[in-house]
Structure 1
Amino acid sequence: MGGQKGGSWLPFLYDNDHRWPKIERKRRYCGTGFGRSDCGGGGLNQSQKLSGKTVPALLSQFLQREPHHIVFASKRNGRWIDRSARECFEYIRKAMAGLRALGFQKGDCVCLLAENREEWTLTDWAAQWLGGSTTAIYTTSSTSDIEHILNECEAKFIFCSNQELFEKLGDLGRYPSVKAVVLWDDFDGMPKEKAGVPVLKEKEFLKDSLSVEEASQLALEVDPESRSILLYTSGTTGEPKGVELTQKAFTANIHQMHNAIPLEELSLTMSFLPLSHIYERSLQTTVVLIGIKVCFAESIEKLVENIAEIRPDMMIGVPRVFEKMFVKVQEKLRESSVAKRLVARLSFEIGKRTVPYRLKEEDLPLSLQLPMTLANLLVFKKIRAITGGRLKFFVSGGAPLSKEIAEFFFQMGIVILEGYGLSETMILSVNRPGKIRFGTVGLAFDDTEFKIAEDGEILVRGPQLMKGYFRRPEQTEEVFTEDGFFKTGDIGKLDGEGYLSITDRKKEIIITAAGKNIAPQPIENKIKSFPFAEQVCVIGDQRKYLTALIVPNLEICQSWARSKASGVSGSLKSVRDCVESKAVQDRFQEILDEVNKDLGRYATIKYFRLIDRPFSIEKNELTPSMKLKRRVIQENFRDQIESMYPPEDRQATASQSS
């Protein structure tokens, strides 16, 4: 996207070695069906479009129409192994037969506890195909959350990937509704039953198969109003709640994403966000139905290596991924020679000047064409190599993305299309090529309405909304208005053109002792835009002023400490060393002074404390989707927090809250 378009006097800008990333927005379909026309693309050649009111109906057509099309790829024994549409359909039919043999009935719920893998998705589709639904548990979930989810949803069948996750289930006798557990990767000493519950190897489970004809017919019989997904919220303020999403809602969302995001010219993506996350799950089904091949990352640790091997042209990410990429780029630049740092600084200045033109997909003026070409060749192309070099764009969701980070990546040709959605609503909006506005989550999808309540809360109405909270009718009623709008719990604004910006979660708004309402997340994001900060939690509810708990980034602090300008005496071997270093503390004070310049006086950070360990899921300070549990953090770090407030402030706070 961006750069001089066809007919440029700088043709080498677009050759195979030096091309500037562009997004082809030519539509290759008509109507509301899925798939591509005879002109092809992505390895598909479909003269007819897919149509259907349920996910199984769409999949049944897709998998049978192009049997040789490669749907998935996974790395096994050092080699990427493809799985075709025919092989996927065969697996699904075997999984359907296996579920039936275990006693699966229409309306039953299957639980998936595994990392992203082909079997995860294919088993999910098989359960839906039989008229059931699936619930997914994050591999990082606590034992108490696992027990709560399994017992509330009354899952009858659990699918685990390996011994570690199987053992995480603990005593199967705690789950009275469970009839069987299936392991995709068996292990030595694997029991045949546990607490009276059969434990099956994948081969045993897949020993039979439904016929093509029966499976095709069953796909047509799935009720659009039936439950497709039972998705559990991350539980930032309490127990996870089950969200019921219907086939009708899921299919509507697939159509909406297909119409909003330019996917037709893409061919390859990498799956690494947990499939328990609604963003990954819904977008993965959408891209499969478009004909985009999905490659599963081996692990987060091997993600960079896998990306270099696969070279995807689109990926789904969350802000934490981009924050870490940003930190790595900053670290590399800091360790470069003076000359290289100067070239990088000039390149980013040039990149910044091109942004207004590229956002509108306009030709660059002649005065910027050659400078931008050189910046691309000398700096940007090398940085983009970490994404494989072919990436057209990322789609980001799950939490607000820092405006500064989005602009930083856009300057060098890495486009991030930020969107918005919740467990209860699926995906609602996204920025689109040619219609990107930094700091917003874009425009609403088709048939989706946003409005802002008097207190600033975002309300939304659309066909992709949940049916309700599972077995919680009163809570369901509380979150819907009389005219059918869902109360998102987010605070935000709509501009005159319909672009939505998210400020923070309504429950996380800080109300100071003076009655000022302050959203902590934008402040935290500003601090994290400096790579020295790994995690940040702003404090100040019912207090006279704001303070912050900050976890330093050890690698960045170590890199900085090696420079003569840092003034650090000795080496920084641990986060504890960073916390205790006067030079590091002074550097963080400089960062906060810089952040405070752009904040209103009442929203500035007066004091901070560096923390010697990261906030973690294990200590219940983060949800499985890595969101802060602020109440737990404030309890666990009470001493550090109270040390930033003198006794008279504590007394004032106590008297106001009593």
Structure 2
Amino acid sequence: MNIAATDCPAYTDYLPHKAHLDYRDDGSMIFRSDYPLDPIVSNTGEWLHRWAATAPDSLFLSERNGAGWRDLSYAEVLSQVRAIAASLLARGLGASTPIVILSGNSIDHALLSLGAQYVGVPVVPVAEQYSLIPEAHPRLVYVLSKVRPALVFTENAGTYAAALALPELSAVEVVASRIDGAPRPVTPFADLLTATPDRALDVAHARVGPDTVAKILFTSGSSSDPKGVLTTQRMMCANQAQIASVLPFLKARPPRIVDWLPWNHVFGGSHNLNMMLAHGGTLVIDTGKPTSAGFPTSVENIRARADTMSFNVPVGYSMLLTAMEEDPALREAFFADLDLIFYAGASLRQEVWTRLEEFALEIGGRRPLMVSSWGLTETAPACVMLHEPVTRSGLIGVPLPGVEVKLIPDPDLRCEIRVRGPNVMPGYFEDPVKSVAAFDEEGFFITGDAVRFVDPAHPERGLIFDGRVSEDFKLTTGTWVQAGRLRMEALEALRDLVQDVVICGHDRGEVGLFIFPKPDHVHGQNTSEGAVIDPILQYEIEMVLREMARHATGSAKRISRALILAEPPSLKDGELTDKGSLNVRKIITRRADLLERLYDNEDPGLIRV
């Protein structure tokens, strides 16, 4: 049920959902927003020039620097971006000579990326673990071989020495902010700032238009080898116009975020960074993350420079909530000036949602707008967004202005979702076969995801994410298993017991479950043959699965057997993506022997439900 604006003091500057459905003769539906789309700039440089001219001293980028902070205003960023762009032109770089970025978020990373975009040089940010974990080097080699970079950047040459020593980089210029410990000659990043902008720079920048490729972002590879998404200026600029069209407070005052989300992913690198740039906002680069080692750093940064908008994944909010329960000062810092809480990547647990709202009311007497969104790397990313107040977690909202959503329903009222709009990619890098296959005959991008309506009688109430159509399979009875939805249900039921699960059963008679336990539940040698699983854990999992089975309606929704896997997902063997998600196809293929054990009723490790 929607909340009236008068009930919540924070909800004074939002646009309620306005969207409509068109029903088509073939049974599909087209879902569109009723709001007009804001004007779209031609390239990200327009934003930078606008704010450098109108608010030159406003803070744009900030990061920790020893005991203090390194801060750059919009005027300073524009000056350094133009110098870097001139240096890239002097090296002969252009549209066909990408720059690969090995390290994570930093001011120098942002400056290089914006400098490259300024003159039409694509940047390719890759996951840090591809460079830092030797077992993941094959993923890095795959990307390097695919894009053939003309330049590689890393924040710290010593930290990334093993990656820089790869033969695939032997003839490539390496630029680093810190060069100590480099395994080979390295160009200091400061050298890029010495070039003098000239008319050639202005001419090159003038050629950068909507179709210019700004980035090549590699997908996580959850179902196949990573694909390079051609991310154009139009995609990024249109997406910010689409979001601003339904979040008017973005235009009311410059936003400020403290953000850790990695820039090799579209959420952090395109959605969040560009949102600050588009609206003259401030991005405080958080070098922490929601892990036991990194979270204290995030807390320190929130205390020092709190957000007006918060972007995070559900586990991040859960950790933040736990910390705030014991720390009133942290609660005060986080909620004092907060307009919005945005979560993505998974559904936020309702108890976390509720407690965050309670804290917000306690601190400021108002609730921030709590929203989510849906999209992919291929859509830059937001296509569907929740932009009105609601009382529950799990909703993803309605189409953004300028996005056409095609919904193809099944008899269970679950819909495959496809999208078309200016924020959708033109194709994959040097992969014409997959590029063609990615779109249907009407030009809609085939996402492979499924959604359903909150209320089919009132489509403007929005959509709920409902798993992956591409993960669904049939049992030998011919019954379809909605694997994505069933996996989410299993994870929710088992959330305190397991790390992750895989739904199995393609061409089998029953649905089975591979279970990856939490590391502290595995004892001894960490292999499937040599490790010992905590017997109490086995019993507790069996009880949870029995309770799930008791409420299941039909064989497609009933998990009948499970096997606990001692060996964790392998990044080296492609079972784990850089986002930490599972490559289900690779797991089932690589562990074919365990799949046979899962369906062997005599196996001693089998949990039979």
Normalised TM-score (structure 1): 0.73
**1:538 matched to 2:509:** no
C-alpha deviations, 1:581-613, integer Å up to 9, x for none? Answer: 333333223333444455324212223333445
C-alpha deviations, 1:356-402, integer Å up to 9, x for none? Answer: xxxxxxxxxxxxxxxxxxxxxx97996983983344433233x4426
Secondary structure of residue in 1 paired with 2:396: coil
Q: 2 CA distance for matches of 1:218 and 1:466?
A: 23
Shift of 1:276: 0.9
Shift of 1:214: 6.8
Distance 1:54 1:266, change over 3 A: closer
Q: Which residue number in structure 2 is paired with residue 497 of structure 1? A: 459
Q: Which residue number in structure 2 is paired with residue 314 of structure 1? A: 309
Shift of 1:256: 0.6
Contact 2:223 2:586 in 1 (8 A): no
**1:304 matched to 2:296:** no
Comparing 215-224 with 303-312, which one deviates more in the overlay?
215-224
Distance 1:598 1:315, change over 3 A: farther
Q: 2 CA distance for matches of 1:3 and 1:457?
A: 29
2:240 to 231, 246, 254: 254
1:444 to 373, 390, 399: 399
Q: 2 CA distance for matches of 1:480 and 1:5?
A: 40
Q: 1 CA distance for matches of 2:102 and 2:487?
A: 32
The AA in structure 1 aligned to 2:582 is L
Q: 2 CA distance for matches of 1:78 and 1:69?
A: 22
Contact 1:535 1:614 in 2 (8 A): no
Shift of 1:279: 1.5
Shift of 1:280: 1.3
Q: Which residue number in structure 2 is paired with residue 277 of structure 1? A: 265
Distance 1:599 1:466, change over 3 A: same
Q: Which residue number in structure 2 is paired with residue 150 of structure 1? A: 144
Shift of 1:635: 4.2
Distance 1:73 1:628, change over 3 A: same
**1:184 matched to 2:170:** no
**1:59 matched to 2:48:** yes
Q: 2 CA distance for matches of 1:573 and 1:290?
A: 54
Q: 2 CA distance for matches of 1:244 and 1:593?
A: 46
1:600 to 534, 547, 553: 553
Q: 1 CA distance for matches of 2:376 and 2:535?
A: 42
Shift of 1:552: 3.6
Q: 2 CA distance for matches of 1:533 and 1:134?
A: 37
Q: Which residue number in structure 1 is paired with residue 163 of structure 2? A: 169
Contact 1:527 1:591 in 2 (8 A): no
2:340 to 393, 403, 410: 393
2:472 to 509, 520, 524: 509
The AA in structure 2 aligned to 1:254 is Q
Shift of 1:420: 0.9
Q: Which residue number in structure 2 is paired with residue 528 of structure 1? A: 491
Q: Relative contact order: is structure 1 or structure 2 higher (C-alpha 8 Å, sep ≥ 6)?
A: 2
Q: 1 CA distance for matches of 2:145 and 2:531?
A: 44
Q: 1 CA distance for matches of 2:300 and 2:601?
A: 52
**1:201 matched to 2:160:** no
The AA in structure 2 aligned to 1:609 is L
Higher fraction of strand: 2
Q: Which residue number in structure 2 is paired with residue 374 of structure 1? A: none
1:111 to 100, 110, 113: 100
Distance 1:153 1:403, change over 3 A: same
C-alpha deviations, 1:541-595, integer Å up to 9, x for none? Answer: 222222323334468x89xxxxxxxxxxxxx999999963333333223333444
Q: 1 CA distance for matches of 2:391 and 2:46?
A: 34
Q: 1 CA distance for matches of 2:387 and 2:586?
A: 37
Contact 2:449 2:467 in 1 (8 A): yes
Q: Which residue number in structure 1 is paired with residue 19 of structure 2? A: none
Shift of 1:443: 0.7
Contact 2:350 2:392 in 1 (8 A): no
Shift of 1:248: 1.8
Give runs of aligned pairs for residues 124-523 of structure 1, distance below 5 A. 124-141=113-130, 142-163=136-157, 166-171=160-165, 173-175=167-169, 179-188=172-181, 191-192=184-185, 199-210=186-197, 218-261=204-247, 262-263=249-250, 264-265=252-253, 267-283=255-271, 284-300=273-289, 301=294, 302-322=297-317, 325=319, 329=322, 385=331, 388-390=334-336, 391-397=338-344, 399-401=345-347, 404=350, 407-408=353-354, 412=358, 416-426=370-380, 427-434=382-389, 438-453=393-408, 456-494=415-453, 495=456, 496-498=458-460, 499-523=462-486
Contact 2:125 2:217 in 1 (8 A): yes
Contact 2:473 2:483 in 1 (8 A): yes
Shift of 1:94: 2.1
Contact 1:71 1:288 in 2 (8 A): yes
Shift of 1:520: 2.7
| Seq. identity, % | 21
The AA in structure 2 aligned to 1:318 is V
Q: Which residue number in structure 1 is paired with residue 25 of structure 2? A: none
Note the aligned Cα RMSD (angstroms).
Answer: 3.7
Q: 1 CA distance for matches of 2:174 and 2:67?
A: 29
Normalised TM-score (structure 2): 0.79
Q: 2 CA distance for matches of 1:285 and 1:619?
A: 34
Contact 1:579 1:611 in 2 (8 A): no
**1:94 matched to 2:83:** yes
Contact 2:236 2:274 in 1 (8 A): no
Distance 1:520 1:4, change over 3 A: closer
Shift of 1:82: 1.8
2:596 to 626, 632, 642: 642
Shift of 1:497: 1.4
Contact 1:621 1:633 in 2 (8 A): yes
C-alpha deviations, 1:207-251, integer Å up to 9, x for none? Answer: 22315x875665443122221222222222222222212212221
Shift of 1:464: 0.7
Contact 1:94 1:208 in 2 (8 A): yes
Secondary structure of residue in 2 paired with 1:135: strand
Shift of 1:620: 2.3
Contact 2:497 2:537 in 1 (8 A): no
Contact 1:64 1:89 in 2 (8 A): no
Contact 1:418 1:442 in 2 (8 A): yes
Q: Which residue number in structure 2 is paired with residue 13 of structure 1? A: none
Distance 1:382 1:592, change over 3 A: farther
The AA in structure 1 aligned to 2:497 is F
Shift of 1:50: 9.5
Distance 1:320 1:616, change over 3 A: farther
Distance 1:609 1:404, change over 3 A: farther
Q: Which residue number in structure 1 is paired with residue 109 of structure 2? A: 120
Distance 1:617 1:273, change over 3 A: farther
Distance 1:612 1:266, change over 3 A: farther
Distance 1:628 1:97, change over 3 A: same
Shift of 1:204: 2.6
Shift of 1:139: 1.0
Distance 1:479 1:466, change over 3 A: same
Distance 1:611 1:319, change over 3 A: farther
Q: Which residue number in structure 1 is paired with residue 29 of structure 2? A: none
The AA in structure 2 aligned to 1:393 is L
Q: 1 CA distance for matches of 2:325 and 2:173?
A: 55
Q: Which residue number in structure 1 is paired with residue 26 of structure 2? A: none
Secondary structure of residue in 2 paired with 1:161: strand
